[in-house]
Amino acid sequence: MSVVKTGLRHYLHIVVVIVGAGPVGLLLANLLGLRGIRTTVLERSVSIPPGSRAIGVMPPSLEILNEAGLVAPFLTAGRTVRRAVVHGTGGAPLGTLQFARVHPDFPYVLAIPQVATLEILEANLTKYPCVTVQRGSDVVGVESDRSGPVQVTIAGGGTVTGNFCVVAAGVRSGAVAGVEIPRRGGNYNRHFLMADFEDESGLGDDAHLWFTRSGAVESFPLPGGRRRWIVQLDSGTPNGQSTPALTRLVHQRSGYDLTGAAPLWESSFSPSWSLADRFHRDGQIFLAGDAAHTMSPIGGQGMNTGFADARHLAAVLEGSHGNSGAAADREAVARYQRFRQRAATIATGRAAAGMAVGTLTGPVASALRSGVIAAALNSPLRGSLARHFAMITIPRFAS
Ligand SMILES: Cc1cc2nc3c(=O)[nH]c(=O)nc-3n(C[C@H](O)[C@H](O)[C@H](O)COP(=O)(O)OP(=O)(O)OC[C@H]3O[C@@H](n4cnc5c(N)ncnc54)[C@H](O)[C@@H]3O)c2cc1C
């Protein structure tokens, strides 16, 4: 076994292969690079996809980015959101969630499009000579026989070998041979449209949520003077519906008129959830991020939960002995499984509950919801609610 000396610390010679250069795979590569661990990231796409998707980076994730020396570029590229104003039917404000006291260093949620997150994470890897990103590598199989190294096979030929493999290839990771870990899951039968526009709303740096009798609208400030609008569809699936439907529903429910504004990016989603039965195979092949769990994007927790997986896994791999083919420390692996599955289960449950309450329609349910929200946001409970939405209360690994 050879020993690698990096900076002030000595590291055992561990080789990690990460499948997927999404936000979770790239953050993990940064955390391993920081620890001097040799890492190869295999990514099927030849370039970073332009889509916006995840925008909310929560304070616990900012702590992890800070540890990786990445918080400054994130703050430069993002926009801090310190308040979320909640409205009922007719637009009347019911109360405000204030993030000012949720965290001593990061008293906000950072809004940053996923493409910028990916660009920052990948660009930072050039600092670490021990990390390589191999784009255009479509992984088709991951194999290990418990006694030797993990063999990762790329479509068209080619194999990469490591002591450990982390599969962070998103929700369809099970399509990779050798990673067919059973998952539970389901759909919520709710459908949403979303689009990013130049912001002419005058809503400034605040997030705004409208929970109305005909459906929900969410609106978040983005960097670069932009704003994201998300609407719950009142009927049918998003198929064939796009910005005109979004514009009509935003106007009807919030009073904001987006007519004439061209979307800079638009998309639709029908949330579902899934949870892998196990987050590792034999302590050598690990799942992280959407490969292990997916949840409704309403609540903005999916990527953040994956970031916490990456942080925990970096410590597990650092603490492993790196003997060729040896599994990581059994107790550390068991803790990863227990801890991260519990955190993902809690986050998934909260995302589902938040979406169920927020999307209730009809006059009675809507009036009841408005009463409860107004009471909660104007009571001492509001501090706990802000911590809850900022994911401070999800169990976290402490090294
Ligand atoms: C509309 C929407 C809004 C969202 N908003 C938020 C939010 O505000 N906050 C939040 O926390 N989360 C949010 N999410 C969830 C978030 O986008 C995901 O949780 C996050 O992208 C998961 O990251 P990941 O790295 O695990 O997987 P992915 O982002 O899916 O990345 C997986 C990567 O693996 C690659 N890959 C796949 N298969 C292979 C293969 N066989 N070989 C090689 N490479 C492969 C893919 O090309 C991809 O680059 C949102 C999701 C949606 C859909």
User: For residue 208, what is the domain's CATH number?
Assistant: 3.30.9.10
What's the confidence (pLDDT) of residue 242?
83
- Same domain, yes or no: 83 and 227: yes
Residue with tokens 């799942």: 287
Instruction: Compute the distance from residue 297 Cα to the ligand 1 centre, in Å.
Output: 11
At 305-333, the pLDDT tens digits run: 999 999 999 999 998 865 545 567 889 99
Count how many domains the chain has: 2
Residues 6+ apart with CB under 8 A from 288: 24, 25, 28, 166, 167, 168, 279, 306, 309, 310, 313, 340
Angle, vertex CA 34, rays to CA 170 and CA 165, nearest 5: 40
Express the helix, strand and coil content of the chain in percent, nearest 5 each: 35, 30, 40
- Same domain, yes or no: 62 and 46: no
At 68-115, the pLDDT tens digits run: 999 999 999 999 999 999 999 999 999 999 999 999 999 999 999 999
Instruction: Compute the distance from residue 203 Cα to the ligand 1 centre, in Å.
Output: 29
- pTM of the entire structure? 0.95
Average pLDDT over residues 123-127: 98
Whole-number Å distance between alpha carbons of 51 and 227: 15
Binding-site residues, ligand 1, Cβ < 6 A:
19-25, 42-45, 53-56, 114, 138-139, 168-170, 176, 267, 269, 289-291, 297, 300-304, 306
Give the closest residue to 211 by CA, choosing from 364, 370, 83.
Answer: 370
Instruction: Compute the distance from residue 145 Cα to the ligand 1 centre, in Å.
Output: 29
Q: Ligand 1, from 53, 119, 167: best to mutate by most atoms within 8 Å of Cβ?
A: 53
Rounded to 5 degrees, what are φ and ψ at 245? -65, -40
Domain enclosing residue 82, as ranges: 56-112+191-270+360-399
Which atom of ligand 1 is nearest the CA belonging to 49? 49
- Same domain, yes or no: 297 and 391: no
- Same domain, yes or no: 128 and 19: yes
CA dist 339 → 28, 278, 281, 287 (Å): 17, 12, 16, 13
CA 338 to chain centre: 19
Whether 217 contacts 209, CB under 8 Å: yes
- Same domain, yes or no: 32 and 120: yes
Average pLDDT over residues 115-120: 98
- Same domain, yes or no: 125 and 262: no
Average pLDDT over residues 8-33: 87
Q: Is the pLDDT of residue 3 over 90?
A: no
Q: In this structure, what CATH number is given to the domain that contains residue 40?
A: 3.50.50.60
- Same domain, yes or no: 118 and 43: yes
Average pLDDT over residues 352-368: 96
Side-chain half-sphere CA neighbours of 126 within 13 A: 3
- Same domain, yes or no: 94 and 220: yes
Report the chain's mean pLDDT, rounded to a whole number: 93
Beta bridge partners of 207: 84
Helix (H, G, I), strand (E, B) or coil at 150: strand
Whether 131 contacts 125, CB under 8 Å: yes
Q: In angstroms, what is the C-alpha Rg of the chain?
A: 22
Whole-number Å distance between alpha carbons of 341 and 367: 36
